[in-house]
Amino acid sequence: MSVSGSAAAPHRELGLTDAEYDGIVARLGRDPNPLELAVFSLMWSEHCAYKHSKKLLRELPVEGPHLLMGPGENAGVVDVGDGLAVAFKVESHNHPSAVEPFQGAATGVGGILRDIFAVGARPIAVLDSLRFGDLDSPRSRFLFDWAVKGIGHYGNSIGVPTVGGEVFFEPAYEQNCLVNAMCVGIAPRERLIRSAAAGAGNLLVLLGARTGRDGIGGASVLASAELSAEDASKRPSVQIGDPFEESKLVECCLELLEAETLASLQDLGAAGLSSSSAEMASKGEVGLDIDVSRVPLREADMEPFEIMISESQERMLCVVEPERLAELTGVCERWDVRASEIGTVTGTRSLRVFDGDELVGDMPVEALVDDCPLYDLEPVEPSEPVYPDPPRRLADDATPGDVLLALLGAPSVASKRWAYEQYDPIVGSRTARRPASADAAVLMLANDGGSGALAVSIDGNGRRVACDPYTGSVEAVLECARNLACVGAEPLGLTNCLNFGNPEKPHIAWQLTRSVEGLRDACLALGVPVVGGNVSLYNEGGEGPIFPTPVVGMVGKLPDPAKVPRTGFAVEGHAIALVGPFAPALEGSELEKLRGCLSGSLPAVDLEEQARALASLREAVRSGDLPTVHDLSEGGLLVAVAECCIEGGLGARLEMPSVEEHALFGEGPGGVVIAGALAAVSKVPGAQVIGSVGGDALEIGRVLSVAVAELRSAYEGAIPNAFTHAVRAGE
């Protein structure tokens, strides 16, 4: 009997609609009991089921010559030669971080690490993509400060380097920050494992930490609803991480996989045992029986439904043949990792939950996972601006020098040294370039028996996507690929995290639809498959939605890390040139933001031309003849040149064909600054020489002259000064 007519119906409190509840009743042939309802509410949540985005995501290209594992596994995997495979994925922990930033960000790192070693790869690098409100907001400073501390705490403690990332500050993220974490791992191809459960009679074993109430109703619920002013009350729902426990778990699982002890492996993330067990059963087309009385608990009085939905961290679920259980137990004892046999694989195609001898839940796997309702979006392009103009921060009579210093001091453009110096970027001895010294992180493969190196980057620009969801998303893919090309790397695969507002609102549905179309077209043009990713929706509060923010992570390979150029100018007298199909415009630019504007469109992009330019740049970099290569992004050409000056400690004398504002500070895809010997620079196709390296200032004739020391002060001081001024003001 349906209870959908009741105003106080429990399913509504759990985020299920009346129609969804009636669908559950139809699939079960009866009303669900409280445990079953709790499990269905999580498995049918937006976070677990992608019910508003799954149809749309089918448009993305998922095939490629290097692909080993694609969407549907814990992480995507590509072949990098020499018998090695690289796993990578990006995930969001936005809502938990907005509630409790330290643990939200820390457990975001812990969760993405588990996705990587769940496929058999050793995590070797973390990158993060962060968004907060304006830095003059006390709330945004608090969230930024503690999220960075959380990332550093987990990554540094577990011994995985944080090698790159990005941070933006915009009013649209004031109530709902974004914390996206990306992890890269490496494995011998033969050690890879999938998560599908198999073999009726095989044993289900829970590895790792005890289960507690932390995380109940956490990521899966918080990420499936808009945040409100009462979100401080949700702090207990945010998971609590223990990187030292996870460190043992990593080594234990990798040793078990090396010995081929396990039949399958799955991490416990959002929705805990419910999602991990149901997804394993679905992929293997089997059933699972779980006895929650065998689950090790931190709190003895937990109810069966709490055990099933707890999101406690540092846990993995594996399937092992009965005759190999003793072998598994021995390895776990050696690593001091708890191993508990909690169930069996069956042929029932049902997830059955027992509390000792009592059956407390019986749910068809197909109903939980494969038959979740999927919704068609109803996109409508908005007829009026969705977002207010930003506050004006630049005077009308600002000179070009004033504009340059204002841009370098804008927190979204300024150096993020304050953040990344809290991370360890070199632990593991693979990092060939420290953060900010190259446009992509470079990780050597020699330690793993491979040749060459990996390049990794993560990019996105929500403001530009807010201006034009299609073109802004195209630009995000191109930016990521360009960062790889700047170190000589060919992209092998792409992962993404799609951060948007409420998809049930027509204008948000339009943003999401156009953004995915842009990602699709850019990936097709570059021949890069999407290997997996994450969707985070309902990122909005009382002040409205976040900027639509597709974040793109990309992994590539390069032949010789010794030839990777740096972003800083290297030698007095080197020629400086601009290469690439760069057509600067002020629409959507940082300068436009400083002037209190937000445009409604961006210039169109020629994807074929961009793809050719990336291939040409990649070959030029691989020659080893270019000591300096740096792409143009936020702030345009003059900001990019200033960053080269700051990083290298040398000035530059420019002779620009145009000193119009759009030429100096306009933005758009395709542009790259290179520097080197004139003969080497001139050989690069399309190179336009615009000056030379030298002196102690950045100069453009009579237009502009700013000392490198002054550039560095604005650039390096912006973020630390924001915190210092707040302390002085007593905030």
C-alpha to C-alpha distance for 417 and 443, rounded to whole angstroms: 20
Query: What are the residues facing 458 on neighbouring strands?
Result: 553
Rounded-to-integer distance, Cα 92 and Cα 129, Å: 9
C-alpha 38/C-alpha 266 separation (Å) is 21
In total, the chain counts a number of residues equal to 731
In this structure, which amino acid lies at residue 118? A
CA atoms within 13 A on the CB side of 256: 37
- Element containing residue 458 per DSSP (H, E): strand 453-459
DSSP at 359: E
Q: Which two tokens stand for residue 348?
A: 């029932």
Residue pair 642/455 in contact (Cβ under 8 Å)? The answer is no
Residue 119 neighbours by CB under 8 Å, 6+ apart: 69, 73, 74, 75, 77, 87, 185, 187, 192, 193, 194, 195, 265
The answer to whether residues 133 and 178 touch, using CB atoms and an 8 Å cutoff, is no
Amino acid 192 reads L
CA dihedral 264, 268, 274, 277 (to 10 degrees): 0
Q: Are the C-beta atoms of residues 672 and 487 closer than 8 Å to each other?
A: no
Active site residue 93: yes
Question: Distances in Å between the alpha carbon of 533 and those of 21, 82, 182, 666?
Answer: 28, 26, 10, 31
Catalytic site residue from 11, 52, 93, 630: 93
Break the chain down into helix, strand, coil percent, rounded to 5. 40, 25, 40
In the numeric block, the tokens 């995507």 are attached to: 76
The answer to whether 281 touches 288, Cβ cutoff 8 Å, is: yes
Considering 47, 52, 66, 630, which one is annotated as catalytic? 47
Query: Which residue is it, tokens 């299609």?
Result: 470
CA-nearest of 639, 631, 646 to 697 is 646
Query: Rounded CA gap, 330 and 325, in Å?
Result: 9
Find where tokens 């976070």 sit.
47
Q: Active-site positions?
A: 47, 93
